[in-house]
């Protein structure tokens, strides 16, 4: 199944009682496995957790740490990019050239890379002291 279809499918499981804005994300790891996540809101944290963070957490829980591809989908007029926190999380687990597909439920898409989502990302190299 195409990665965007995986994201579309999991989007239906989102728990968004406050915003009614459901987001689905799917990531393909370097091994080829697919991990999915959706946004989850709650009374104490109504803005909720992000779909991308959920997919990354599922990947790490499965023992993987390298993202090869990302897809995100929401019902919006234009493709919705990940929030700043999720952009940094993606940069932690993906090379800059990893493709990211942003899509709407109506079929609009925007394709970019992790580096285009977060230019100048903080990375391991910034901590090198040698």
Taking the complete model, does pTM exceed 0.85, yes or no?
yes
Q: Is a pLDDT exceeding 90 seen at residue 13? A: yes
Domain 3-121 has CATH 3.40.140.10: yes
Annotated binding site: 39-45, 50, 83, 86
Q: Where do the domains of the chain lie?
A: 3-121
**What pLDDT does 126 receive?**
67
Is pLDDT larger for residue 47 or for residue 90?
90
Pairwise CA distance, residues 42 & 116, whole Å: 31
Strand 23-29 relative to strand 67-74, pairing:
antiparallel
Spatial neighbors of 91 by CB under 8 A, at least 6 apart, are: 114, 117, 118, 121, 122, 123
Instruction: Cite the active site residues.
Output: 52
């Amino acid at each position: 199944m195409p990665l965007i279809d995986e994201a579309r499918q999991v989007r239906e499981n989102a728990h968004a009682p406050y915003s009614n804005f459901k987001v689905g994300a799917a990531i393909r790891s370097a091994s080829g496995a697919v991990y999915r996540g959706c946004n989850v809101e709650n009374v104490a944290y109504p803005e909720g957790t992000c779909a991308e963070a959920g997919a990354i957490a599922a990947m790490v829980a499965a023992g993987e740490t390298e993202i090869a591809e990302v897809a995100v989908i929401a019902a919006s007029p234009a493709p919705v990019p990940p929030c700043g926190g999720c952009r940094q999380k993606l940069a932690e687990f993906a090379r800059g050239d990893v493709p990211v597909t942003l899509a709407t439920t109506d079929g609009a898409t925007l394709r970019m890379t992790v580096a285009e989502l977060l230019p100048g990302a903080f990375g391991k190299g910034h901590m090198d002291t040698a």
